[in-house]
A and B are shown apart, each in its own frame.
With several copies, the nearest count.
Chain A
Amino acid sequence: MSLSYKKKDFVSDQDVRWCPGCGDYAILSAAQQVFAKLDIPKENFVVVSGIGCSSRFPYYVNTFGFHTIHGRAPAIASGVKIANPDLDVWVVTGDGDALSIGGNHIIHAARRNVNMTVLLFNNRIYGLTKGQYSPTSDPGTKTGSTPYGSLDTPFNPITLMLGAGAGFVARTVDTQIPHMKSVIEAAHAYQGFSFVEILQNCVIFADKVFEHITEKGIRDSRQVNLMHGEPLVYGNDLEKGLQFTADGLKIVAADQADTWDAQQRDAAKAYQICQSQENGEFPVPIGIFHSVERATLDAQVHAQIAETTEKLGKGSLTSLLQSGEIWNVGEK
């Protein structure tokens, strides 16, 4: 099948209503480009979101879209996909939507491995409600609800998803378009629950929170891109590398760098490299942390139905009503 879509085929007729300069625009555009490339009939896409600036996303994409309620998108998407596995299901969510009110649904969708692609726009703030701190905000963040600075430790969305058993876990950046597109594509290609954290700049309430990682000048030395089968190198001239040792992660010369294996069953190294981000000495990992396939719940549900139907015979209204102990009254 070749549908030769263009990006514009995935642009809806609705005015986009994000703040000028918001990182969401770039993500929308990258996603629309990826959608066009996938060669999947437009009508098979279902984009589900919760509530938040980020969750406005479905309105702007010319597919089936469902802007639901705060935090519940992964659960609603699970219903969509399990009921109708032919659909191509996407979840677009924010750090508040997915990790605050929706934390439980996303970890359960992850462990169950319902086949969907989750794009989490992490701007480390509640944008839509005008700027309260979120579960990913740095400690000490001053916001409307924390005028003297926030006190709680944030989640690392990547370790949270690894801990929950997600099969595909990745991270990308709103301003790094080619990287973003390749990660979204890989996430979609993965058959199962795939999770992409997108570092996204909110110009209004949390401007530049990722500057120290993503700014053009320093980006190359502050990020390491995890690519399966490629060496763990970074730096302006890719001169540095990372190596796993029995004592933990070490910074080494590029030629001594370990090769990244995103397909390790146990995700222990993904977890380890993630943790290094807490330590300013190490670069912040982006790219694909983990990608190991296992049977999806949606496929298994329908396989079990098929198997049981084969074994017990297809049920009909007659068999339903006539099952079990029955007696007759009168002439029947």
Chain B
Amino acid sequence: MTQTAQPTSLDEVVIRFAGDSGDGMQLVGNQFSNTSALAGNDLSTFPDYPAEIRAPVGTTFGVSGFQVRFASKKIHTPGDHCDVLVAMNPAAFKVHVEALKPGGILLVNTGNFDGKNLKKAGYETSPLEDMRYKEQFNLVEINLNTAVIHAVEGTGLSSKDALRSKNILALGMLYWVYSRSLEPTEQWLKEKFSKKPMVLEANLKALHAGVKIAENSELLQTQHTIAPAPLEAGAYKNLMGNAALSMGLVAGAELAELPLFLGSYPITPASDILHYLARYKNYGVVTFQAEDEIAAIAAAIGASFSGSLGVTATSGPGIALKSEAMGLAVMTELPLLVINVQRGGPSTGLPTKTEQADLLQALFGRHGECPVPVIAPYSSSDCFHAAIEAIKMAVQYMTPVILLSDASIANGAEPFLIPDLDSLEKFPAQKAKTEENFMPYRRDEKTLARPWAVPGTPGLEHRIGGLEKSDGSGDIDYSPKNHETMVGLRNDKVQRIANTYAPLAVYGEDQGDLLVVGWGSTYGAIRSAVRNAQSNGQSVSHVHLRNLWPLPLDLQDILKSFSKVLIPEMNSGQLLRILRSEYLIDAVGYSKIQGQPFATQEIYDHIQTIF
């Protein structure tokens, strides 16, 4: 790192904040992200919480991390390695130091590198004494504890309370290094502590002290700027996937002109959808925290039967429990949205980690021939749009739809381009009107959807249920040919949804040596890795599937235009199995099943093994 007095301009920076669960790392991570967003950077964030609610202070499994990547160009992932690591204690140091790039800034709170904390992290001697780190990194040692106590002197706060602001002091330091405005954070502090002036003052002092300390630090003499990114013009907000998804649900219901009903049972990492929607009461959203996942989907089905848009959100174990009821929704052909925010499995598995191993469950995890469309958002912001698309499918085709998100998308955030209201096309749900000789299973010619006959409408009284039924009348019918017809119709109806897809976008040439196919949250890592390979002049393209079932009609031609097909997945090759069976192509998979997203580099390296 050279030392000049003039800020140098950088393309992008990755900062990882790491400390104890109580150290407020998520908070400063979010502040840095928002400030950078307001500065016009593109950004991507990834929080990494401990599994425990409050793990014992100072232990490695109690470390809470937050990574933010901000850039003057379009980016797709929170980054593999970081340029800056803030380590608030030895445990955070231990867990995260491997992620720091050589030459990166290693900002360490020496105030917590005492015997007790070292021991809790499993160190016999302080790692700071290890010359390796000094040589490899730009090690910035600072006792944030004394610094912050010093900084807030005069506010009247006890030392114990003062210590709470040490994260803000560290934030101030990084604001100086990256030439960030203090204003957004000052504003935020003012709102948050409007009723606690002493705390507010302390935090403001800590923030400014951080700036001062950085300015005067020998080690941090370089200031950098990161120019705004060439983002599409428009208004943006920084949204986590679950937040975007929740907004998408509200928007989708509004576009369908339907009341939204969420039946849900809390489960990590899906609970936030319940939390967000519960706040939207003034949008008329009904949330129902059920006694279990079965009751949650059951209530959602009941709500759909009675004319609302029923939604249920859960993770893998909850999907397992809901699978019987999904069959009922398929048989009764009611609109329903089932959201699976995937986490590490099997069983309770790694409940706070990410994985994509529920795809085959989504496609085939029900008894009988029980087809359900499956859609997977590819990024945090795409959750918004995918939710709307899923609702549209559900309502227009009278079918349950599965939306597959995952923990990395759900908790990660990126700038969300607020769509133009006019760009959001309305698709008002059609409900059957009073008529003579109403036939609850008479189908629409184009979509094969049956009519939605809502209780309260005179003349439409009818009975439905899970037994096989006669097409048209909907009466119970066990006759052999009718069953075959109905199995066929339920399948055809879902297959026809593929007619509504936009053409697939191939990133790169339309044909060539290698096509990388992905789905879901691997989008960013694949796209970046392919871009890097392309810039080597390699003939590699990328197609990302948002619609997993039915498969896009143009997929086959695209696949056949490449010599090789590579499918990176956070599972043991589930999409791989589908594409092999559908298209008989000798595609190969690349699996990572570690509860962690792919790094761009990993995919890039794997691509290189193919060339």
Contact = CB atoms under 8 A, between A and B. Distances in A.
A touches B in complex, CB < 8 A: yes
Main SS at interface, chain B: mixed
Given A315-B250, A320-B251, A65 B295 contact: no
A76 B336 CA distance: 13
Interface in B163-204: 184
Given A132-B274, A145-B266, A79 B237 contact: no
Contacts of A317: 251, 254, 421, 424
A165 to B, nearest CB: 14
Interface in A294-313: 301, 304-305, 308-309, 311-313
B289 interface: yes
Interface in A36-71: 41-46, 48, 51, 53, 58-59, 62-71
Nearest to A88: B455
B458 interface: yes
Interface string B287-330: 11111111100111111111110100000010000001101100
Interface string B438-478: 00000000000000000111111111111100000001100
Contacts of A254: none
Interface stretch (B48-56, B104-112, B495-503): B48-56
A144 to B, nearest CB: 4
B268 interface: yes
B463 A58 contact: yes
B456 A87 contact: yes
Contacts of A42: 458, 461
B463 A12 contact: yes
Interface string B410-452: 0000000011010010000000000000000000000000000
Contacts of A330: 231-234
B261 A79 contact: yes
A127 interface: yes
B418 A322 contact: yes
A146 B266 CA distance: 12
Contacts of B464: 65-67
B455 A80 contact: yes
A218 B584 CA distance: 75
Contacts of B305: 46, 66, 76, 79-80
A205 to B, nearest CB: 8
Interface in A112-156: 126-130, 132-133, 135, 144-148
A16 to B, nearest CB: 8
Given A43-B456, A82-B299, A304 B53 contact: no
Contact of B288 (A79, A104, A105): A79
Contacts of B261: 79, 82-83
A129 B268 contact: yes
A329 B40 contact: yes
A104 B421 contact: no
Contact of B306 (A46, A58, A305): A46
A132 B456 contact: no
Of residues B238, B268, B283, B467, which shows the largest number of chain A Cβ atoms within 10 Å of its Cβ? B283
Of residues B52, B293, B348, B465, which shows the largest number of chain A Cβ atoms within 10 Å of its Cβ? B465
Given A76-B298, A101-B265, A127 B306 contact: no
A79 B234 contact: no
A104 B292 contact: yes
Contacts of A72: 294-295, 298, 325
Given A15-B56, A68-B466, A72-B298, A132 B307 contact: no
A19 B54 contact: yes
Interface in B34-67: 34, 37-38, 40, 52-57, 59, 61
Contacts of A248: none
Given A43-B457, A130-B53, A69 B325 contact: yes
A315 B280 contact: yes
Nearest to B268: A129
Contacts of A86: 456
B235 interface: yes
A127 B54 CA distance: 11
B271 A145 contact: yes
A326 B307 contact: no
Contacts of A17: 52, 55-56, 61
A2 interface: no
A130 B272 CA distance: 10
B64 to A, nearest CB: 13
Interface in A318-332: 318, 320-322, 324-332
A327 B52 CA distance: 35
Contact of B302 (A79, A127, A301): A79
Interface residues of A, number: 86
B19 interface: no
A135 B465 CA distance: 25
Contact of A65 (B301, B456, B463): B463
A79 B298 contact: yes
Interface in B226-247: 228, 231-238, 247
Contact of A327 (B236, B287, B475, B476): B236
A75 B475 contact: no
Contacts of B299: 75-76, 78-79, 82
A103 interface: yes
A108 interface: yes
Nearest to A73: B298
Contacts of B424: 317
Contacts of B40: 327, 329
A80 B310 CA distance: 10
A84 B234 contact: no
A147 B279 contact: yes
Contact of A326 (B56, B237, B285, B310): B237
B463 A309 contact: no
A329 B42 CA distance: 11
A314 interface: yes
Nearest to A104: B291
Of residues A75, A144, A304, A332, which shows the largest number of chain B Cβ atoms within 10 Å of its Cβ? A75
Of residues B40, B234, B281, B348, which shows the largest number of chain A Cβ atoms within 10 Å of its Cβ? B281
B347 interface: yes
Contacts of A78: 288, 290, 295, 298-299, 302
A161 to B, nearest CB: 16
Contact of B234 (A68, A71, A328): A328
Nearest to B21: A19
Given A108-B295, A320-B250, A145 B289 contact: yes
A329 B419 contact: no
Given A79-B263, A132-B271, A147-B279, A87 B234 contact: no
Interface in A254-308: 301, 304-305, 308
B53 A128 contact: yes
B580 interface: no
B455 A87 contact: yes
A217 interface: no
A83 B307 contact: yes
A100 interface: yes
Contacts of B287: 145
Given A126-B266, A309-B281, A77 B236 contact: no
Q: Which 4 A-B pairs have the closest CB atoms?
A: A330-B233, A79-B302, A67-B465, A79-B299
6 contacts: A44-B456, A53-B53, A83-B261, A84-B308, A129-B268, A312-B281
Interface of A: 12, 14-15, 17-20, 41-46, 48, 51, 53, 58-59, 62-72, 75-84, 86-87, 100-101, 103-105, 108, 126-130, 132-133, 135, 144-148, 204, 301, 304-305, 308-309, 311-318, 320-322, 324-332
Given A46-B305, A69-B347, A83-B307, 14 more contacts: A19-B52, A43-B460, A65-B461, A65-B463, A67-B463, A70-B317, A75-B302, A79-B288, A82-B261, A103-B291, A132-B274, A148-B281, A305-B284, A317-B251
Interface of B: 34, 37-38, 40, 52-57, 59, 61, 184, 228, 231-238, 247, 250-251, 254, 259, 261, 263, 265-268, 271, 274-275, 278-295, 298-308, 310, 317, 324-325, 327-328, 332, 347-348, 418-419, 421, 424, 455-467, 475-476
